[in-house]
A and B are shown apart, each in its own frame.
Chain A
Amino acid sequence: MTSPLYDLLRQITGYIYPNEIEIHWSILVVVYPYLTGLVAGAFILASLVKVFNVREVYSVYRLSLLTALAFLLIAPLPLLLHLSHPLRSYEIFLNPNLKSAMAMFGFVYAWYLMVVLILEIWFTYRRDMIVWAQGEKFPLRWLHRIMALFSRDISAKAVDFDRKAVKGITIIGIPSAFLLHGYVGFIFGSIKANPWWSSVLIPIVFLFSAIVSGIALVLLLYMVITPLRGEKIDMPCVDKISSYLFYAVILDFSLELLDFIHRLYESEESIKILTEMVMNKLFISLGVMQVLLGMLLPLGLLICIKLFRFDAELRKLLYFVSAILIQMGIFATRWNVVMGGQMFSKSLRGLTAYKMELTGVEGLLTAVALLIIPFFILALLIKILPPWDKAAAPASSEPAS
């Protein structure tokens, strides 16, 4: 069987080191930072409620947490599927090379999952789980009792402690979310061999584009789920979320513009081949999808909403469209970072191409599946831990039998 790489020989322009013809980090490595970005962004939105007491956004607080959890559970999958020897991946936990940024993955992920996200969700839902368990049948009854760790105390003091704990965890959680996604940016930013990646700005840009995508995702989910539940969309809520989205997009856009201007101005040795790569290989994904459709157009729509007084229906439509465009744009951003860094040669003399398979472990279908599965998990989580069904029973201090 001839290697599929023979086809790539014809697509090389200029000169590449012979080992560089194979692009190693595939679309799965694009999906991973996209997923963790959504996690970090959704969590940051939830933190706005708890730390800054933004009342209007309260109705999406629990949804944000569940969204973060759903995506976090799937996040290791693209990495495992990408490894050639996934069964040895426990070595990252057992014998990590502490100098390697990638070795941080196991610990940062475990910390964020266990100590931040699950703990916060637990303390948020503990009282409700106990109350729900009282009125339910098998299996949900036992599920909730186990998940509540068989606690029964719903006194005012206990609920008060829960609230304080949530606040404390959120405060630890914000830097933890920054770490969860920032270390991915550092993995790229610390490679001195690659001028497209090696930059102080990459971890920061990653983080802010993550916040943008996370907020946009929660906005989208809220606007889709609420009508499905038969409820009315709370306009002050979506207006507020979109406000935060707007500020985040402005920050993200400024940072990316800064990176762009800085590169062109400094005009280092790599500028020629990088320009050639952007104009030829990345024109659609960067120029059109990331910048035009993914950033400028949504920014324009959001600015219009701020300037002119549109009615609720028009605003909803524009929010929806902007959020979808932003998702596409942020995915394109991740694509441009990962693929862009591999499509030019480190000899700075040539370009190669990425041939994405359709099927196969690292193919397009796998990537699409990995992007869709979290929504199913979210649906399950919403079923088990309904974000809007605050237990109606009054907080009684005697545990019911």
Chain B
Amino acid sequence: MKNPFGRLPDALTRILIVFLVMAVAIVVVRTMLPPAIKDTSIHVQSTIDRELARPVHYAGSEPCAGCHEEPALKKSGYHRTLSCETCHGPAKAHAENPTETKPVAPRKRDFCVLCHEYDPSRPTGFPQINPVAHNPLKPCISCHNPHDPKPPTTPEECQACHAEIARTKAVSPHVMLQCTTCHTVPDQHKISPRMAAATKPTEREFCGKCHGKQAPAGGPPRIDMVSHYEKYPCWQCHYPHMPEVK
């Protein structure tokens, strides 16, 4: 066979022909493929369309108020930061077809403790109870209206939310002190704890009222307020709820 490539060696010619055929085949196949396979933007759009078509299970709080006015009033109570579906589960199906499906309504103790069981990692002041000791066997909703939860009896003031601090203080030398001895608590604190915070003492002299040299003898331990670490506030070393002495 005469060499079509002129003066190239025969072997090289054959190799080049093979590669040429392969290249042409690749180009032909690529051109013949439908754009749906090749085009990235088509894939992106179809993925977005597929995502948007997913069914929605949680309706949000807005649809509920249309029919359920009374529970929606919880907006002013302690549970105002919750969604209806936080407790009642996904309710989109119910919002679309109220008579056919009903959302769940947890009525047993095992549900409320998911949030309200005592756990030390929970932020200070979050209302927590010990489920074993706190009215065992009674459903929570028999005393607490879930849509406007208030304790049925006025709790022992601070201890209801600040149980750990109360427990710590109860075995400490400060056990006989009331919380209000050191902290001024505005009434609003029980409703909006973060907005209307209780005060804390700001100066050493506050502790000095009981622990300074001028205090009556035979009472709390007294120190010389002037020479004892006079630049530092007392609580930098002494945790006020358990003022251990090392």
Contact = CB atoms under 8 A, between A and B. Distances in A.
Interface of A: 94-95, 114, 119, 122-123, 126, 149-151, 153, 157-158, 161-162, 165
A123 B19 CA distance: 15
A229 to B, nearest CB: 29
Contacts of A158: 9-11
Nearest to A164: B9
Contacts of A114: 19, 22
Interface string B149-178: 000000000000000000000000000000
How extensive is the interface on chain B, given as a class?
Answer: 10 to 19
What is the interface of chain A mostly: helix, strand, loop, or mixed?
helix
Contacts of B33: 94
13 contacts: A95-B38, A95-B40, A114-B19, A114-B22, A149-B11, A149-B15, A149-B18, A150-B14, A151-B10, A153-B9, A158-B9, A158-B11, A161-B9
Contact of B11 (A94, A95, A153): A153
Contacts of A153: 9-11
B37 interface: yes
Interface string B5-21: 00001111011001100
Given A94-B37, A94-B38, A95-B40, A157 B11 contact: no
Contacts of B38: 94-95
A150 B18 CA distance: 12
A168 B15 CA distance: 15
Nearest to B1: A150
Interface string B186-214: 00000000000000000000000000000
B213 to A, nearest CB: 50
Interface of B: 9-12, 14-15, 18-19, 22, 30, 33, 37-38, 40, 43
A149 B14 CA distance: 7
Contacts, number: 34
Given A122-B15, A158-B11, 16 more contacts: A94-B37, A94-B38, A95-B38, A95-B40, A114-B19, A114-B22, A119-B15, A149-B11, A149-B15, A150-B14, A153-B11, A157-B9, A158-B10, A161-B9, A161-B11, A162-B11
A151 B14 contact: yes
A43 B218 CA distance: 93
Contacts of A157: 9
A161 B18 contact: no
B51 to A, nearest CB: 19
A91 to B, nearest CB: 9
Contacts of B19: 114
B11 A126 contact: yes
Contacts of A149: 11, 14-15, 18
What is the interface of chain B mostly: helix, strand, loop, or mixed?
helix
Contacts of A165: 11-12
A114 B20 CA distance: 13
Given A94-B37, A95-B40, A161 B14 contact: no
A161 B7 CA distance: 13
Nearest to A159: B11
Contacts of B11: 123, 126, 149, 151, 153, 158, 161-162, 165
A336 B43 CA distance: 38
Contacts of B40: 95
A122 B14 CA distance: 11
Contacts of B10: 151, 153, 158
Nearest to B39: A95
Nearest to B22: A114
A235 B226 CA distance: 93
A173 to B, nearest CB: 15
Contacts of B12: 161, 165
A88 to B, nearest CB: 10
A165 B10 CA distance: 13
Nearest to B14: A149
A67 B69 CA distance: 80
Nearest to B19: A114
Nearest to A127: B11
Contacts of A94: 30, 33, 37-38
A245 B40 CA distance: 47
Among the interface residues B11, B15, B22, B33, which one has the most CB atoms of the partner chain A within 10 A?
B11
A121 B14 CA distance: 15
A228 B190 CA distance: 92
Among the interface residues B14, B38, B43, which one has the most CB atoms of the partner chain A within 10 A?
B14
Contacts of A151: 10-11, 14
Contacts of B15: 119, 122, 149
Those 7 A-B pairs whose CB atoms lie nearest each other, nearest first = A149-B14, A161-B9, A153-B10, A151-B14, A151-B11, A151-B10, A126-B11
Nearest to B43: A95
